[in-house]
Chains A and B, each alone.
Chain A
Amino acid sequence: MYDAPKSLETTLDQKTAKITARDVQVHYGDNHAIKDVNVNIEANTVTAFIGPSGCGKSTFLRCINRMNDTIDICRVQGKILLDGEDINDKRVDPVQLRAKVGMVFQKPNPFPKSIYDNIAYGPRIHGLAKNKADLDEIVEKSLRRGAIWEEVKDRLHASGTGLSGGQQQRLCIARAIATEPEVLLMDEPCSALDPIATAQVEELIDELRQQYSVVIVTHSMQQAARVSQRTAFFHLGNLVEFGDTVKIFTNPEDSRTESYITGRIG
């Protein structure tokens, strides 16, 4: 063992970070929604964002795949690095970025198309399949990874909107996976699901961690505790506390975190 020079240590640190946010500020007009957030999101880790409504969880999540670009009054400052590369660089194509950084929303939103086409859509526009056989394979693989293949393999050409809520959400996850992303962003993915469907999606999230970095916004403290290894607590646009989930849920540093997770009046 030897002591690594300080500079080397920081390089190594950045290497294990899949996403690095540096001094990120977001404004909607005059509304300062994210204030000076610095955070490292690790590879092969589920990171949970928790905090009261309106604290900026979704806003910060949308910074990671530049979804805020689509909101006119939204202004993002600071740096977001994906594998060390600035995602806001002029040379980065946001459509390509969103294939690499997939997103799953609160309400399952399958396209009004067949189950097959829901999955095939992304790979088609990104040219990931050379031929029909290739595409079939991607569709099957994605549905399997989305833990829904067994339930839909006999009705791939039925409409995606005909599935149950829980199935639709897993279909949307499978759709997000189909473009071979490296990061999966999920904004309250289970809030419209019953406990069984929720458990299935949580189990899926845990499996996805083998291959992806998952960032999940959730209002359920128990869900954050169950699925994540790291937890970030946001409050009024500030990242108040970030650390190991076990630590946050047994012995948080900040009294605001403690009040929130124990359900106290701040």
Chain B
Amino acid sequence: MNDSRHIASAFDRDLDSIHAKILKMGGLVEASIVDSSKALESRDQELAEKVRRGDAAIDALDEQINDEVANLIALRAPTAVDLRTVLAIMRMTSNLERIGDLSKNLAKRSDVLGQLTQISGATGSIRRMTREVEAMLKDALDAFIQRDPDFARDVIERDREVDEMYNTLFREFLTFMLEDPRNITACMHLHFIAKNVERMGDHVTAIAEQVLFYVTGETPEGSRPKADVTSSDMKYNPEAEPD
């Protein structure tokens, strides 16, 4: 990979600006996941509100990055590593923006959950799952900074574990609901939360794939590991849940 500067220094300034913004956005999204899962666990309404408000900053960065990328493509016609950088960042920013939305959705549910009976063990499992997704995001962004393809591949692999955690939770919720219909409302909410975290994992995986493309110029061959089996088990499609 090429570390030398462009002859046109304005080109470097434009690229540096986009770089700085995507890293800032990544940091905000990481913080949002941490906060929303904390809010969920401790039923902290104030923290939840902070997450909801914070999403606007993430959306604004997404917009700014898209504008700057469009300008850079129009004015500087980037090629090779420059082209891969802006393409990767453009896709990464939309994945980050989606993760931000999902995190906001988690925070929203903490209010409702505060009024519901506790389902034993579920919040602990969701916490572990969320932590794993947050760690994956941090590693994907580090892989981007360090241009480390192995690190990125490792993140992609780890999404399997998140999928498996989700599958386990899904079965648990089903059991609870069958045992006592009074659990249904709480379990449905918890399920949406788990599903949202699982989808965050998918977006993090997509980010790691973009890092691979940016560094190596290749898109990972074959489909990514997909261990979420619930949609094939069941007629109901949890993907259809609105945010």
Interface residues of A (CB under 8 A from B): 221-222, 225, 248-252, 255, 257-259, 261-266
Contact = CB atoms under 8 A, between A and B. Distances in A.
Interface in B121-159: none
A251 B2 contact: no
Nearest to B7: A263
Contact of A265 (B4, B78, B79, B80): B4
Q: Which of B5, B11, B79, B218 has the most CB of A within 10 A?
A: B79
A10 to B, nearest CB: 29
Interface string B71-113: 0000001111111100000000000000000000000000000
Interface in B1-36: 2, 4-8, 11
A255 B5 CA distance: 13
Main secondary structure of the interface of A (DSSP, over half): helix
Contacts of B220: none
A249 B83 contact: yes
A251 B80 contact: yes
B2 A255 contact: yes
Contacts of B238: none
B84 A264 contact: no
Contact of A264 (B4, B83, B217, B218): B4
A225 B78 CA distance: 12
A258 B2 contact: yes
Contacts of B11: 263
A258 B8 contact: no
Contacts of A250: 79-80, 83-84, 217
Interface string B211-225: 000000110000000
B8 A263 contact: yes
Contacts of A262: 2, 6, 78-82
Contacts of B80: 248-252, 257-258, 261-262
11 contacts: A221-B79, A222-B77, A250-B83, A251-B84, A258-B80, A259-B4, A261-B79, A262-B79, A263-B11, A264-B4, A265-B4
A184 B21 CA distance: 48
A3 to B, nearest CB: 25
A142 B80 CA distance: 38
A266 B77 CA distance: 19
Contacts of B78: 262
A50 to B, nearest CB: 11
Nearest to B217: A251
A165 to B, nearest CB: 24
Contacts of A248: 80
Given A222-B77, A250-B217, A251-B217, A266 B83 contact: no
B101 to A, nearest CB: 31
A115 to B, nearest CB: 36
B221 to A, nearest CB: 15
Contacts of B81: 258, 262
B74 to A, nearest CB: 12
Nearest to A221: B79
A198 to B, nearest CB: 15
